[in-house]
């Protein structure tokens, strides 16, 4: 309670200080519009709702969530820069989507069109198998794939998505050939796994967290083991340089004042550091990151390089 009081006071003080540079006397001065480029119930929605709670505490304003699904996020991202740029409208952004989608096809926006100001967590890629699967470890699976190339099937959500990227990267790292079968959404991919239609799934630790009873994770693509799954090794431990997953961040429309971006970055950073928030996130299977506004460009450049390599493999670019 006390830390929260101190945090709130600090927050108020900070906003009052920054306020001088921003047009309003303190920012945010009204409700925030938080656009989610997907439908309700997904991971982006759940994360935003958790952030919403803490946003209210820190700033006293509501973060009102609006859904704008379509095209895997492309509809909302392509229309976003038309929205008000006074700093009170933000949109959730996802990697690899915002990098791969424009590379793959004409989606009405370019990666550089989105002004990201913070990245707060990611769902680390993970290989899941049914609880009764013959594969006890990652090695088992790699062996099976080596013996019979192409026969090991993975379900995953969508094409050119994080799951697909992970499968492609791992195949090249392990020098094997597996078959990726795209499904519409993580829900369908998990169903396919549980029904035995595919032998494994390229999903995330969040999926494993939600289906702990009947699925197992063979490996996780994070820098260290996830607190919720202390027995699951990371890919790096097992010798594969695979780290990453679906990152989530937020952006503002073009023309938003820098001070507002800075302030938003700080607010969400604060939310991200709150221990109770971190705990809720981890219980759901997420892995925290902290990429404030001044580090965003570098972070995106790194990811871009990673994805470009994969995109070459897909024949999307030369």
Partner 1 sequence: MSWSFLLAALTPFNLMLAFIGVGAGIIIGGLPGLSATMAVAVLVPVTFGMEPASGLIMLGAIYTGAIYGGAYSAILVNTPGTPSAIATTFDGYPMAKRGDGDLAVTLATLSSVVGGLTGAIALLTLAPLLATIALQFGSVEYFWLAVLGLTLISALSEGATLKGFMGASLGLLLSTVGVAVVGGDVRYTFGSSLLLGGVEIISALIGLYCIPVLIDLVATPDPHLRVSNKAGGFRLREAMGLALRSKFNMARSAVIGTVVAILPGAGGSIASLVSYSEARRSSPRRERFGQGEPDGILATESANNATVGGGFIPTLVLGIPGTPPDAIILGALLVQGVRTGPELFTENAAISYTFIYGLLIATLLLLPMGLIIGRYAFKSIIAIPKAILAPTVAFMTVIGTYAIRNNTWDVLIMLVLGVVGWFLNRAGFKPSPIVLGLILGPIAEQGFVQAVLMGQAQGAVVPMFFRGPISWTIVAIIVIATLYPLARLVLGNPRGSGEVRENE
Partner 2 sequence: MNDSTMDPKANRRDIAGMAYALAFAVLGGLALYYTDDMSTLGAVFPQTIASALIIFSLAYITQNLVSPGSVHPVSGEGSWIRRGLLIAVMLVWVLTLNWLGFIAAGVLGFIGMILVGNYDAWSLRRVLIYALVSALIIGGFYTLFAVVLNVPLPPPRWL
Residue among 254, 27, 226, 241 nearest 121 (CA): 226
What is d(CA 7, CA 266) in angstroms, rounded to the nearest whole number? 12
Instruction: Name the segment binding partner 2 (CB under 8 A); options: 43-51, 59-67, 209-217, 220-228.
Output: 59-67
Q: Match 């009102």 to its residue by tokens.
A: 64
What is d(CA 71, CA 140) in angstroms, rounded to the nearest whole number? 37
DSSP state, 121?
E
Pick between residue 299 and residue 314 the one whose CB is nearest to partner 2: 314
Contact flag: residue 33 with partner 2 (CB under 8 A): yes
CA 148 to chain centre: 33
Pick between residue 24 and residue 179 the one whose CB is nearest to partner 1: 179
Dihedral angle at the C-alpha atoms of 120, 29, 88, 264, nearest 10 degrees? -30
Q: Which of residues 245-304 bind partner 1 (CB under 8 A)?
A: 280, 283-284
What is d(CA 316, CA 318) in angstroms, rounded to the nearest whole number? 7
Contact flag: residue 66 with partner 2 (CB under 8 A): yes
In the list 19, 26, 67, 269, the residue contacting partner 1 (rule: CB under 8 A) is: 67
In the list 133, 179, 269, 304, the residue contacting partner 1 (rule: CB under 8 A) is: 179
Residue among 161, 157, 156 nearest 244 (CA): 161
User: Minimum Å distance from CB 35 to partner 2?
Assistant: 8
Contact flag: residue 39 with partner 1 (CB under 8 A): yes
Pick between residue 46 and residue 316 the one whose CB is nearest to partner 2: 316
C-beta neighbour count of 5 within 10 angstroms: 9
Contact flag: residue 23 with partner 2 (CB under 8 A): no
User: Minimum Å distance from CB 308 to partner 1?
Assistant: 16
SS3 state of residue 184: coil
Query: Are residues 121 and 248 in contact, defined by beta-carbon separation less than 8 angstroms?
Result: yes
Return the one option of partner 2, partner 1, none that residue 210 interacts with (CB less than 5 to 8 A, by type): partner 1
What are the residues facing 66 on neighbouring strands?
35
What is d(CA 111, CA 308) in angstroms, rounded to the nearest whole number? 13
In the list 21, 64, 173, 317, the residue contacting partner 2 (rule: CB under 8 A) is: 64
Return the one option of partner 2, partner 1, none that residue 278 interacts with (CB less than 5 to 8 A, by type): none
Return the one option of partner 1, partner 2, none that residue 252 interacts with (CB less than 5 to 8 A, by type): none
Rg, Å, the chain Cα set: 20
Q: How many helices (H) and strands (E) does the chain have?
A: 11, 10
Pick between residue 87 and residue 244 the one whose CB is nearest to partner 2: 87
Residue among 84, 100, 95, 112 nearest 37 (CA): 95
In the list 22, 32, 58, 65, the residue contacting partner 1 (rule: CB under 8 A) is: 65
Contact flag: residue 85 with partner 2 (CB under 8 A): no
Contact string 187-226 vs partner 1 (x = CB under 8 A): xx-xxx-xxxxx-----------xxxxx------------
Pick between residue 289 and residue 316 the one whose CB is nearest to partner 2: 316
> Binding residues for partner 1, per CB under 8 A?
39-42, 45-46, 49-50, 65-72, 74-75, 78-79, 104-108, 150-153, 158-160, 179, 181-184, 187-188, 190-192, 194-198, 210-214, 280, 283-284
């Amino acid at each position: 309670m006390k830390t929260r009081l101190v945090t709130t006071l600090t927050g108020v003080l900070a906003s009052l200080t920054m306020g001088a540079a921003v047009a309003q006397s303190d920012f945010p001065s009204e409700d925030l519009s938080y656009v989610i480029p997907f439908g309700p119930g997904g991971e982006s929605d759940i994360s935003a709702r958790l952030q919403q709670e803490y946003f209210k505490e820190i700033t006293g304003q509501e973060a009102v969530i609006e859904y704008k699904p379509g095209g895997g996020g492309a509809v909302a991202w392509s229309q976003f820069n038309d929205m008000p740029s006074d700093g009170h409208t933000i949109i959730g952004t996802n990697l690899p989507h915002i990098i791969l989608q424009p590379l793959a096809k004409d989606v009405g926006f370019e990666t550089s069109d989105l002004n990201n100001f913070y990245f707060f967590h990611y769902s680390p890629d993970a290989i899941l198998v049914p609880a009764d699967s013959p594969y006890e470890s990652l090695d088992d699976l790699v062996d099976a794939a080596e013996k019979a190339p192409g026969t090991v099937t993975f379900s995953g959500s969508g094409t050119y998505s994080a799951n697909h990227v992970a499968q492609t990267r791992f195949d090249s790292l392990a020098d094997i050939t597996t078959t990726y079968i795209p499904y519409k959404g993580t829900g369908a991919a998990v169903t396919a796994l549980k029904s035995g239609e595919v032998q494994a799934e390229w999903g995330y630790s969040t999926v494993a967290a939600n289906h702990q009873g009947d699925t197992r994770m063979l490996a996780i693509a994070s820098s260290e083991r996830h607190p919720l799954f202390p027995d699951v090794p990371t890919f790096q431990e097992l010798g594969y340089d695979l780290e990453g997953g679906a990152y989530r961040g937020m952006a503002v429309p073009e023309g938003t004042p820098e001070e507002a971006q800075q302030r938003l970055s700080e607010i969400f950073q604060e939310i991200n550091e709150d221990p109770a928030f971190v705990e809720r996130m981890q219980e759901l299977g997420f892995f925290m990151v902290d990429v404030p506004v001044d580090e965003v460009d570098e972070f995106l450049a790194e990811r871009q390089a990673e994805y470009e390599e994969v995109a070459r493999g897909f024949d999307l670019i030369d």
